[in-house]
Structure 1
Amino acid sequence: MNGTITTDHVAPDPSGPADAGESKLVVDSVTVEYKTRKGTVHAVSDVSLDVPRGSTLALVGESGCGKSSLGRAMLQLPRPTAGSVRVDETDLTTLSGSALKQARKMIQMVFQDPISSLNPRRTVRDIVAEGLEIQGVEGGRAEIRRRVDAALESVGLDPEHAGGRRPSEFSGGQCQRIALARALVLEPEVLVCDEPVSALDVSVQAQILNLLEDMKERYRLTMVFISHDLSVVHNIADQVAVMYLGTVCEVADTEALYRAPAHPYTMLLISSAPTLGGTLADTLGEAAISATSSELPSPLNPPSGCRFRTRCPRATELCATERPQLVDIAPGHKVACHHPLEEN
């Protein structure tokens, strides 16, 4: 890489296992609700997560489970209905105005559709520079240009060739590189990636995933990776949180989760994932299960108790009357289920 992105904050020691258990991002009892003409959408309900410094947490689940709503709430886009989001000791939910604007340098987002997330009327250089202009940078235009060039080079784009062109002149993969440069130019400490490769061809997905891994190591990022693709998650995440209808039903280290899922919904996701056929799905053998219904309940009126109970083959009356809480079943492995699969 010819250019580098300088950082104002003190980066953690790269050799430091001492940071391994230190929380970088803490989501505490976050609830996100939207008012509509039909009623209140319960997008996220009392979710708590802890992301260690320098790690990647994946949020997985079906469409409509609240993954993107939770990711946006982390950046206060919009502010959650209840709960808190902390980066280090800074609670973003207590900030507003200029204080929130400054704090947002610490946490940035890469959106799902790389083309529609970029302003088609602006040049690439202007798109990447916009955040710096909003935040204000010492050194003026010369410093902004230097940092924009460094960001573009870091994601594999030639600033002289790409800087004066517009998003419509680039492929989807190249647009996602531009979007990543736009996020990295602000030197964030936390990067939230919302389905960053789902709109890309399979051949391009691997390039972007490799780039994200490279950026994570180079700039010592803590990442939240939102995806419905379990094969992608298996390759990039250190830890996985499984969401269903606005709640988290299981959290575990990636290998432990895929090897021995404890929640029936997690088992259902893994055993039905077509991209995992012949590998992880086969290892489940007779343990694989099927849902009793393919219909996802409405977030306008979620089921009482366990929200998965209307589709769960193990549901009992207890599941209808009492919401299960996330509890430890092994070191680093939590599940919210009255009848976890580990009982078998």
Structure 2
Amino acid sequence: MTVSPPDLAGPAATETADRPADAKLVVDAVTVEYHTRKGTVHAVTDVSLDVPRGSTLALVGESGCGKSSLGRAMLQLPRPSSGRVMVDDTDLCALSGSSLKEARKRIQMVFQDPISSLNPRRRVRDIVAEGLEIQGVDGGREEIRRRVDAALEAVGLDPAHAGDRRPSEFSGGQCQRIALARALVLEPEVLVCDEPVSALDVSVQAQILNLLEEMKERYHLTMVFISHDLSVVHNIADRVAVMYLGMVCEVADTETLYRAPAHPYTMLLISSAPTLGGTLADTLGEDSITATSSELPSPLNPPSGCRFRTRCPRATELCAAERPPLTTITPGHQVACHHPLQENR
């Protein structure tokens, strides 16, 4: 595993008394805003999460809810507008230049579209080796070649057959394996996967998910898995954070979230997730819920109070007046709702 130099934390390292002892990745009050000609896009607003070492946290929600923006902010792509992103005791948001470059070896990303995320003009071996060349590796070209071959073999590709070919010669699933090899060749400690199977056929999705689980064990990874597919998340995640319009509305371990969702939006997602037997709610034996509107509000002008209130069948005047805080209702289960579904259980 890659070990960070002692000076990475530097003077910007912050106290860790407020974070769990086993947390590998901590997102603390992160806000991401984009300034456009039409106004400010509030992509992520005051999100705080922690990911225990060796576990997988899933970020779920509709398109446009801020999942990818939060994932990219973890890698400082771009840097968040405010807040902290901690890997162990290192605050990535406080680093720049060579310090940030060195720290990025510890956290890598697999992007959503496996084909467009690879340079079509470069050969696979050069694509996978690029991170090593940027970071610099003791041992020179021979060591780089050895590590590239090892990474390709780890994801199920033959270096002799695949190394000198270009991405256009591979299928979508194979390109995602190449993208995964590119991330793993640096031996990261944290891997952020941004909808890594959404662009793939169902049969290929299962192969990539199994591969991710295998790589997680092999490289001792801590993972953040971004997806809108709750069926996929149910099989791969230890904990799930549900996002709506830039904010986290519920966090719980996977089984608790699926068996006893507390936020109306979480229940809406479960009610609408299709399965072979109907919906995910039917499969899990949950009662369904229907939104009062199918229209997602604009992140340029999000609703006051609870951002889900314009679509929530349980909304009251309190929901418009006050933003509900993320509150613990049972150990490990947090919800941001004035009228949670589980309040009478």
TM interval, short-chain normalised: over 0.9
Counterpart of 2:194 in structure 1 is: 194
Shift of residue 283, structure 1, vs aligned partner: 5.4
Q: Is 2:33 aligned against 1:9?
A: no
Which residue of 1 is the match for residue 13 of structure 2? none
Do 1:231 and 1:276's aligned partners in 2 also have CA atoms closer than 8 Å? no
Question: Per-residue CA shift, 1:251-300, capped at 9, x if unaligned?
Answer: 00000000000000000000111137447411565732100000000000
Say which is worse superposed, 269-278 or 232-241, in terms of deviation. Answer: 269-278
Aligned-pair CA distance for 1:21? 6.0
- In structure 2, runs of 5+ residues without a counterpart are 5-19
Whether contact under 8 Å (1:271, 1:284) holds in the other structure is no
Partner Cα separation in structure 2 for residue 306 and residue 276 of structure 1: 33
5+ unaligned residues in a row in structure 1: which ranges? 1-6, 11-19
- Is 1:294 aligned with 2:294? yes
The corresponding residue for 2:29 is 29
Q: Give the TM-score taking structure 1 as reference length.
A: 0.94
Cα displacement string for residues 169-207 of structure 1 (whole angstroms, at most 9, x for unaligned residues): 000000000000000000000000000000000010000
Aligned residues: 329
Confirm or deny: 8 A CA contact 2:272 2:280 kept in the other structure: no
Alignment partner, residue 158 of structure 2 = 158
- The answer for the alignment partner of 1:87 in structure 2 is 87
* 2:212 matches 1:218: no
- Mapped to 2, the partners of 1:209 and 1:21 lie a distance apart of 29
Q: Aligned-pair distance for 1:315? A: 0.4
| Alpha-carbon distance in structure 1 between the residues aligned to 2:276 and 2:327 | 28
Q: Following the alignment from structure 2 to structure 1, what is the Cα–Cα distance between the partners of residues 33 and 305? A: 18
Percent of aligned positions with the same letter in both sequences?
87
- Secondary structure at 2:248 match in 1: strand
- What TM-score, normalized to structure 2? 0.93
Q: Distance in 2 between matches of 1:284 and 1:339?
A: 22
Q: Report what 1:103 is aligned to.
A: 103
1:123 maps to: 123
SS at match of 2:291: coil
| Residues 285 and 55 of structure 1, relative CA distance in 2, 3 Å threshold | closer
Distance 1:296 1:112 in 2: 22
- Which residue in 2 is equivalent to 1:261? 261
Which amino acid in structure 2 is aligned with residue 235 of structure 1?
A: N
Is 2:52–2:222's contact at 8 Å kept on the other side of the alignment? Answer: yes
Which SS does the other structure have where 1:343 is aligned? coil
Equivalent residues in 2 for 1:319-338, closer than 5 Å: 319-338=319-338
Q: CA deviation at 1:9?
A: 3.1
Contact 1:21–1:53 (8 Å) recurs in 2? no
Q: Give the structure 1 partner of residue 183 of structure 2.
A: 183
Contact 2:2 2:189 in 1 (8 A): no
What SS does structure 1 have at the residue aligned with 2:43? Answer: strand
Q: Distance in 2 between matches of 1:276 and 1:97?
A: 50
- Mapped partners of 1:100, 1:253: distance in 2: 32
Judged with a 3 Å threshold, the aligned counterparts in structure 2 of structure 1 residues 289 and 200 are, in CA distance, closer, same or farther, namely same
Question: RMSD between aligned alpha carbons?
Answer: 1.4
Separation (CA, whole Å) in 1 of partners of 2:226 and 2:337: 23
C-alpha deviations, 1:194-249, integer Å up to 9, x for none?
Answer: 00000000010000000000000111100000000000000000000000000000
Once residues 90 and 166 of structure 1 are traced to their aligned partners in structure 2, the CA distance between those partners, rounded to angstroms, is 37
Output the CA distance in 1 between the equivalents of 2:286 and 2:326: 26
2:45 corresponding residue in structure 1? 45
Aligned counterparts of 1:223 and 1:46: Cα–Cα separation in 2: 21
8 Å Cα contact 2:270-2:279 kept in structure 1:
no
- Whole-Å Cα distance in 2 between the matches of residues 219 and 299 of structure 1? 37
The corresponding residue for 1:250 is 250
- In the other structure, the counterpart of 2:12 is none
CA distance in 2, matches of 1:288, 1:276: 17
